[in-house]
Structure 1
Amino acid sequence: MRRDLLSLVLCLPFYAHAQSLVVCSEASPEGFDIAQYTAATTADASAETVYERLVQFAPGSTRLVPALAERWEISDDGLRYTFELRRGVQFHQTPWFKPSRDFNADDVLWSFQRQLDKQHPWHALSPRGFPYFEAMSFGELIDKVEKLDDYRVRFTLKHPEAPFLADLAMGFTSLYSAEYAGQLLAAGTPDKLNSQPIGTGPFVFQRYAKDAQVRFTAHPTYWAGKPEIDKLVLAITPDPNTRLQQLKAGVCQIALHPRPTDITALRQEPGLKVLELDSLLTAYVALNTRHQPLDDVRVRQAINLAFDRQAYLRAQYGEGNASLAVAPYPATLPGFDQGQQPWPLDPARARQLLSDAGHAQGLKLSIWTRPGGGPTNPNPGIGAQMLQADLAAIGIQSEIRVFEWGELIKRAKNGEHDLVFMGWAGDNGDPDNFLTPNLSCAAAESGDNQAGWCHKEFDLLVREARQLTQPERRAALYREALAIFHEQAPWIPLAHPKQFAVLSQDVEGFILNPMGSNNFARVRRVR
């Protein structure tokens, strides 16, 4: 049986329920212990369903609002953040865990200390480490996390950090049950934290059928009010065409990330509605500077000069559905240099640079991509073939290799690739969120900087900008950093796509998130 038909069959029992919601999603979650991962599909299946954080973003915006903290105070010097925790918040009850108490300060301490303290009994139990925590240099930022009483916690920083509060709304700062963790450790089954998650969020995890679907039920005692959807299914459907077929057949009610080139036709489809949002998304190709000859800036510049990105933009996104990328983040964020021009299409200059670098006779590289398609790479096969053809025109022979999304991320983190198509959704509306996790020296060390690029001057500028609160001074430092990025060319910046979703007419309350993740807590179906 084909996998897409298997997904349909598995979804039918949930779909039959009047208050069910089936979402056709583009990829499998890497796991459910969100602190170990960075992919948006993993966040949808964990951070946006099972877990919550001290603060959160208001739906459809980057505005911070209370979540598990009702209020907070920041000291005048920007070093101390004191949070008053929400009372009466209940953890999920499941066949594998029955909580004996409500959420409190002990859970906040456990959630941060296991990432922060190398002596913590859970620190070494994460086989993937804590990539976001490490890439964001939180270990060098946070001096201590203290429990003032059962419902007050204080973070003390070693230096001011402008985006710190917004960082606390990101998935990697999700709050876990210390009681559940203690139970797992005592039973010798800590791996279940990643397969049987427990949180305070709007949905309770039921089970995961690998590469097929994730099932949830509504949290009946959710502090913000029980969701109207009783049962939620994420049906894993990598192919965008199959997602749309299942939506039209009534198998799912939301199809995420349709191909932008299909949007015009979809707007004419009866019984469907299309949501659109200018999002904080970046599509790029990372050039692995840890591999020769990509460690030579002339080779990286030649590759940028060889690729016809305007043709790529038209083929992937159609008319008006994306803008050409010049920098790692969109022009709407501070520090973007409006005068910076993208690398022009100039094969002759590219060939000369290759010759200057000692590769007049050409060279061989690999191009890595994924199957299916998502918001930053709607048609991976076509994109990789276009890059392959343009590189061949300047004497670079390349082999295209296709990996399932989770495998692609794992192998890219290990630095096995030469060129890899990637995308990024900004998690907090701050420029730093595009630069530090993807291009810093700390991220190169952790492997989450797929270019493996560590430029000391760039790194210092970004670090300094993070510690400032004056917007104009931060923006000036980012402009300097982006000039270095452009000249050093560790990426081929591709596009800043718009975000789309297609819904059945009976779905209401679903709001696209500019950070690219999807939350279904306030979704309802009307008849």
Structure 2
Amino acid sequence: MRFLFICASLSFLTGCYQTESTITDSLLYCADKAPTSFNPQVSHDTASLDATTHQLYNNLIRIDPVSRRFVADIAKGWQSNQDKTEYTFYLNEQVTFHQTDYFQASRHLNADDVIFSLKRLLSTENPFHDINSESENYFFNHPLTNIIKDIIKIDDHTVRIILTKSDATLLANLAAHYSVILSLEYADELLQAGHPEKIDFFPIGTGPYQFKNYQNNIIRFQKHKNPWQSPAHIDNLIFDITANSTKRYAKLLSGECDVIANPAPSQVDQISQNPNVSLSIRPTGNVALIAFNSKSSPFNDVINRHALSNAIDLNTVIQAVFFNNAVSTDNLLPAHSWAFNPRTLKHQFSPEQSLKKLQENDFNFEQTLRILAPIKKSIYNPNFYKTAELIQANWANIGVKSEIVLLRQTELDSALASGDYDIFLTGKSPNINDPDNIFRPLLSCKVNQIEGNTSRWCDPDTQALLDSTLVKSSFIQRVKNYYQLQELVQSQRIYLPIAHLLRFDVYNKNITNIQVDTLTGISLHQVNKVAPLKMLELK
């Protein structure tokens, strides 16, 4: 009787999740943060992508998790014209939208839904273009804006995308999280009701799960009632928002969670030794960088850029700032990238050689270098100030003076625009599976400091290589060009890469088939769950 009372009390507070986690038709995912919306078009943080992209939606095409090739999703096939300026997509005619308490679709997905979804991103005339928009959300000015000239409906199940010019990144952009397909019928209904903002908070998609409710930090999804693709293996998907990492891990051990996101770096060693759980570690494309202001003294001299780079002890920076949360890198691209150049040289920490090179180059040791950094931590650097302090100490050891300037975003933008800095602690988080998404913002003459080119690098040969690589149809030639760009960054020391961040997911041994894409989020579509071993023994 006492047990029943306790369980009833807990049920009021938590839904008696420990009981739900032991049955095989429910999966409990404990996240560290709440999603900012239920639409990856407007929310690109990891927590939002995990809760939405692969759970609720589909794209025209997707990236196969094994082969890493583009494969059909909503589109059953596609073709391009000879000069790669037009792409025609043929839609699956059986794609069904979610049927919920707040919306009942009257038809299957068609070309109108695809055009509406993509034009929401592209056209200021779309009534949903500015709905739920925020200045920090890049999607309202993302790469598709400059790629796509028009989208034409050929018939109900055929759309043609016309490009401004040939662009090798189109497919990668269409497979990105922001290119999910929404329901035009639902959008029209919300517009007529005077509540267009609900499109991102009461979602309607075509994915394996559909939204049920969100209360008291608990998000409930249920399996798509009329799935057009293979149905989800789990009936009920529950996201439990638990900010404290110790509580998340405790919930995993107690059975209140099946999967947890982002354990604390200090927990990783302990978790890796626990035989009852599986630890997934995946390198991401998020890279922490030091940008050298190549337009002003002393870093307009490549000798000084190399010398002061070699005075920085990156191993200490990684241990002190990133703990177990990152891997050191000498490259802008992660090792799993299809364009990664394995011939890049290793960074050499050599204060003695640094000092010698500076003296031989008549470096002015009386000047004070300005280390600029954001106050707020980011996805690619958890502590900018600590990073700056370590660099400052390294330089002080060879007699180079520096000051640390931490600024809020508005002041930071002003300092970047004016060029009033010597180095800038920054990073890059790619949005798509194409190296152009890394190199162009960092190296293009057409990109200013606020948009990403904080080295202020502008070189005609570099620009020509960037632009020619974008229109190349030969995959091998594109790889060769990106190899060349990686060698350029090293030889000219335009940027000094510090580390690539890691993604950690932990789940119980009775959970299998979790798929994680570090760009678009976790997929729980094909997850299998069996009863825990202890329960089987009790039976």
Instruction: Name the TM-score class by shorter chain.
Output: 0.7 to 0.9
2:228 paired with 1:223 = yes
- Residue 227 of structure 1, CA deviation: 1.7
Q: Deviations over 1:131-154 (max 9, x none)?
A: 247342x23322321111111111
Q: Superposition pairs for residues 394-413 of structure 1, below 5 Å?
A: 394=395, 395-398=401-404
Q: Superposition pairs for residues 103-114 of structure 1, below 5 Å?
A: 103-114=109-120
2:474 paired with 1:473 = no
8 Å Cα contact 2:27-2:237 kept in structure 1: yes
- Residue 284 of structure 1, CA deviation: 0.6
2:454 paired with 1:455 = no
Structure 2: distance between partners of 1:43 and 1:247: 22
Q: Deviations over 1:355-403 (max 9, x none)?
A: 95897245464454549xx7x66xx35x7525423324434343779xx
- Residue 247 of structure 1, CA deviation: 1.5
> Residue 36 of structure 1 aligns to a residue in which SS?
coil
Larger Rg: 2
Structure 2 match to 1:329 = 333
Q: Superposition pairs for residues 278-427 of structure 1, below 5 Å?
A: 279-285=283-289, 287=291, 304-314=309-319, 323-333=327-337, 335-346=339-350, 349=354, 360-361=367-368, 363=370, 365-370=372-377, 380-381=382-383, 384-394=385-395, 395-398=401-404, 422=427, 424=429, 427=432
Paired amino acid for 1:21? L
Shifted more, 246-255 versus 200-209: the winner is: 200-209
**Distance change >3 Å, CA 75–CA 454, structure 1 → 2:** same
8 Å Cα contact 2:371-2:388 kept in structure 1: no
1:233 to 238, 248, 252: 238
> Residue 81 of structure 1 aligns to a residue in which SS?
strand
8 Å Cα contact 1:26-1:239 kept in structure 2: yes
Structure 1 match to 2:138 = 131
Q: Deviations over 1:214-272 (max 9, x none)?
A: 43222221212332323323333455444323212222111223356654542331321
Question: In percent, how many aligned pairs have the same letter?
Answer: 24
Paired amino acid for 2:497? P
Gaps of 5+ in 2: 1-9, 396-400, 532-539
Structure 2 match to 1:512 = 516
Relative to the length of structure 1, the TM-score reads 0.79
8 Å Cα contact 2:121-2:139 kept in structure 1: no
Structure 2 match to 1:501 = 505
2:46 to 40, 50, 53: 40
**Distance change >3 Å, CA 281–CA 302, structure 1 → 2:** same
The alignment's C-alpha RMSD in Å is 4.1
Structure 1: distance between partners of 2:412 and 2:175: 24
Structure 2 match to 1:433 = 437
Structure 2: distance between partners of 1:384 and 1:9: 44
- Residue 492 of structure 1, CA deviation: 4.2
1:250 to 242, 255, 280: 255
1:267 to 272, 280, 284: 272
- Residue 201 of structure 1, CA deviation: 1.2
**Distance change >3 Å, CA 369–CA 243, structure 1 → 2:** farther
- Residue 177 of structure 1, CA deviation: 0.9
Relative to the length of structure 2, the TM-score reads 0.78
Q: Superposition pairs for residues 205-216 of structure 1, below 5 Å?
A: 205-208=211-214, 212-216=217-221
Q: Deviations over 1:433-469 (max 9, x none)?
A: 3334666567658x66384856364444323212101
Structure 2: distance between partners of 1:439 and 1:46: 32
- Residue 526 of structure 1, CA deviation: 0.7
Structure 1: distance between partners of 2:138 and 2:387: 32
Structure 2 match to 1:16 = 19
Q: Deviations over 1:86-121 (max 9, x none)?
A: 122221233332222221110001111222233333
- Residue 503 of structure 1, CA deviation: 0.9
Structure 1: distance between partners of 2:411 and 2:177: 21
Structure 2: distance between partners of 1:504 and 1:214: 20
Q: Deviations over 1:121-172 (max 9, x none)?
A: 3334453377247342x23322321111111111122332223223211111
**Distance change >3 Å, CA 523–CA 484, structure 1 → 2:** same
Structure 2 match to 1:3 = none
Structure 2 match to 1:199 = 205
Q: Superposition pairs for residues 56-205 of structure 1, below 5 Å?
A: 56-125=62-131, 127-128=133-134, 131-132=138-139, 134-136=141-143, 138-205=144-211
Aligned residues between the structures = 502
Shifted more, 124-133 versus 410-419: the winner is: 410-419
